[in-house]
Amino acid sequence: MLFDRKQLVRLIVPLVLEQVIMGTIGIADMLMVASVGETAISGISLIDSINMLFSSMFAALVTGGTIICTQYLGKRDEDMANLAAKHLLLVSLLFSLMIAALCFLFRKTVVYGLYGAAETEVLRQAMIYFYFSMASYPFLMMFDSGSAIFRSMGNAALPFTVSFLMSVINVVLNAVFIFELHWGVFGAGFATLLARVVSSAAIFILLYRYQGVIRLQLFLKSGWHGFMVKNILRLAVPTGLEDSIFHIGKLLVQGIVTSFGTTAIAANAVALTISEFTHMPGFAIGLSLITVVGRCAGAGDLEQARYYVKKITRLSFLVTGAVAALSWIFAGPVVGFYQMNHATWVLAVEIVRWQALACLFVWVPAFNISDALRAASDVKFTMAVSMISMWIFRVGCSFLFRSLLDVGVICVWFAMFLDWMFRAGVFTLRFRGTKWEGRMFL
């Protein structure tokens, strides 16, 4: 077997802990900002929707590079694995700088074009936060790329350590900037930027000093190879298109949320923060699937890949189900920490509980199995299914339900649950078949 129980534990546990800590920090950040007022929460939530779009694009590029690295490691070709790692870092840096520059040039067009219906103060707060977000994109990209390289080698502990450091810095600076200096949204954005600068520097220092198969010293002297960029992009572009269109759809849905007013925006923002926390353990396990299945695919052993997918997704069901159950039970007290008015609290609690029920049953097959398919290079199929599901269910049904159902902002969540159900069914059928096999092109 390519991975024994001990190796899987070393890979999965730090990933889950990292995501849980990040989710906890996200909730803590929102709690701190909540003290400034609902307009601050609403402004940040609008920009976070944009941030999630670009983060997904960054993640797609990182995923493409990670799959290439793990497949070469599965083939025991260390030189090519190092070459893939170098090109992942270079392409990631160039891409993130381009995105940051475009965001700066078209910042008003993006914010006012998407959220022009929001209140003036909400838009002002959003614009402040957007400046810091775009400045942090290159640092976030470098941290994600360096962490992915470590994970491709089966080492999730070092990225977890750096992520924990980043989270601590973020919380401490948030406390200082918001509570002591009273900088509000400006302080929250500045804290995030500084934390990402430190974390990206730390991951590169560790990558330089690390004595593993892939090391910074080993690929600094290698040249630029077009075929490697092509291989990375052949995996990254379909995944990037999938995730980008997915989040473009979410931005359109956010426009529907905005139309329901500030109370709906604030409740939706809090519910999104809590729901992301619910998904994070499953998301972490999905990252481990990319490493495990990619290594098996590189070694040409797809039977082991099937075995590990079944084993790891069972674990994901247990962990995700437990977190979803806890979020349903404690929805009221957790939402209460955000110091919102009663109407906003009631709406946020209702959304969180509906989300927990849907997450309990369909989130894992909708997202973890697609991670396994991507790791085996079956990226075009996952892209097609996700795009179709997004536009028909999440976007189309959101507009339809707004007209037909008198349930307010929760209609967009019902549309999202249909999206999850469709993905779960199609990806499960795909994995049970054999068409995803033989997609390797290395």
25 has a pLDDT exceeding 60: yes
Which among 278, 243, 143, 275 has a CA at the least distance from the CA of 198? Answer: 143
Mean pLDDT highest for which of 33-37, 153-157, 199-203, 217-221? 199-203
Q: Among all chains, which residue has been given the structure tokens 């997918």? A: 309
6 has a pLDDT exceeding 90: no
Q: Which two tokens stand for residue 397?
A: 């049904």
Averaged confidence pLDDT in the chain: 84
| Confidence grade of residue 184 (pLDDT, cut at 50, 70, 90) | confident
pLDDT of residue 30: 66
pLDDT of residue 23: 64
Distance CA 365, CA 314 (A): 10
pLDDT of residue 133: 92
296 has a pLDDT exceeding 80: yes
| Confidence grade of residue 339 (pLDDT, cut at 50, 70, 90) | confident
Q: Which is more confidently placed, 221 or 127? A: 127
Instruction: Transcribe 262-308 into DSSP letters.
Output: HHHHHHHHHHHHHHHHHHHHHHHHHHHHHHHHHHHHHTT-HHHHHHH
Distance CA 66, CA 341 (A): 45
Q: What is the pLDDT of residues 74-84, one digit of tens each?
A: 888 888 888 88
Distance CA 55, CA 220 (A): 26
pLDDT of residue 27: 62
For 179-203, letters b (16+ CB in 10 Å) and e give eeeebbbbbbbbbbbbbbbbbbebb
128 has a pLDDT exceeding 70: yes
- Evaluated on CA atoms 85, 87, 90, 96, the torsion sign reads negative
437 has a pLDDT exceeding 60: yes
pLDDT of residue 387: 86
Q: How confident is the model over 75-103, as a mean pLDDT?
A: 88
Q: Which is more confidently placed, 223 or 348? A: 348
* Phi and psi torsions of 35, nearest 5°: -65, -20
Amino acid at 302: L
Q: What is the pLDDT of residues 375-413, one digit of tens each?
A: 888 888 988 898 899 889 988 998 898 888 878 888 889
Instruction: Transcribe 302-355 into DSSP letters.
Output: HHHHHHHHHHHHHHHHHHHHHHHHHHHHTHHHHHHTT---HHHHHHHHHHHHHH
- Evaluated on CA atoms 217, 218, 219, 220, the torsion sign reads positive
Q: Which two tokens stand for residue 280?
A: 């994070």
151 has a pLDDT exceeding 90: no
Mean pLDDT highest for which of 114-118, 231-235, 248-252, 282-286? 282-286
Distance CA 76, CA 352 (A): 45
Q: Which two tokens stand for residue 398?
A: 């959101």
- For the packed helices 342-375 and 379-389, what is the interaxial angle rounded to 10 degrees? 150
| Confidence grade of residue 219 (pLDDT, cut at 50, 70, 90) | low
Total count of residues recorded for the chain: 442
Collapse the DSSP code of 359 into the 3-class scheme (helix H, G, I; strand E, B; otherwise coil) and give the result.
helix
Q: Which is more confidently placed, 309 or 45? A: 309
| Confidence grade of residue 427 (pLDDT, cut at 50, 70, 90) | very high
Largest CA distance in the chain: 62
| DSSP at 435 | T
Amino acid at 251: L
Number of Cβ atoms within 10 Å of the Cβ of 326 = 14
Q: What share of the chain is helix, strand, coil (3-state, %, to 5)?
A: 85, 0, 15
